[in-house]
Chains A and B, each alone.
Chain A
Amino acid sequence: MIEDADRVAAVAAAVEDARYRRVIPCLDVTDGRVVKGIEFVNLRDAGDPVELAAFYNQEGADELVFLDITATTDSRSTMVDLVARTADRVFIPLTVGGGVRSVADMRELLIAGADKVSINTAAIANPELIDAGVETFGQQCIVIAIDARREPERGGWGVYTHGGRRAAGLDAVKWAVEAARRGAGEILLTSMDRDGTKDGYDLALLEAVAAAVPTPVIASGGAGTLDHLVDGLAPGRADAVLAASIFHFGEYRIIDAKHHLAARGIPMRMDQQ
Chain B
Amino acid sequence: MSGRVAVIDYGAGNLRSMCRALTTIGVDPVVTTSPATVAMACAVVLPGVGAAGASMTRMKELGLTAALRTAIAEGTPFLGVCLGMQLLFGHQDEGNVEGLGVLPGRVRRLSPGVKIPQIGWNRVRLVEAGPLGHAGDDHDAYFVHSFIAEGVDPADIAGLTRYGEVFPSIVMRESVWGVQFHPEKSGDWGLELLRTWGALIHARHAAPVAAASA
Contacts and interface: CB of A to CB of B under 8 A. Distances in A.
Given A87-B16, A214-B115, A4 B164 contact: no
Contact of B154 (A7, A88, A186, A271): A7
Contacts of B120: 20, 22, 62, 216, 239-240
A110 to B, nearest CB: 5
Interface string B111-131: 000010101111101011000
B175 interface: no
Interface stretch (A41-49, A133-141, A147-155): A133-141
Contact of A216 (B17, B115, B135, B164): B115
B125 A15 contact: yes
A18 B122 contact: yes
Given A15-B161, A88-B20, A111 B14 contact: yes
Interface string A1-17: 10011011101101111
Interface residues of A, number: 46
Interface stretch (B34-42, B61-69, B181-189, B196-204): B181-189
B142 A93 contact: yes
Interface in A97-121: 107, 110-115
Contacts of B21: 91
Main SS at interface, chain B: mixed
A1 B154 contact: yes
B172 to A, nearest CB: 12
Nearest to B152: A8
Contacts of A245: none
Contact of A215 (B16, B115, B135): B115
6 contacts: A4-B153, A4-B155, A15-B123, A91-B184, A140-B144, A272-B188
Interface of A: 1, 4-5, 7-9, 11-12, 14-18, 20, 22, 57, 62, 84, 87-89, 91-93, 107, 110-115, 136-140, 185-186, 214-216, 239-240, 269, 271-272
Interface of B: 12-14, 16-17, 20-21, 24, 49-51, 115, 117, 119-123, 125, 127-128, 135-136, 139-140, 142, 144, 153-155, 157, 160-164, 166, 184-191
Given A17-B122, A111-B16, A271-B189, 4 more contacts: A1-B155, A17-B164, A113-B17, A115-B17
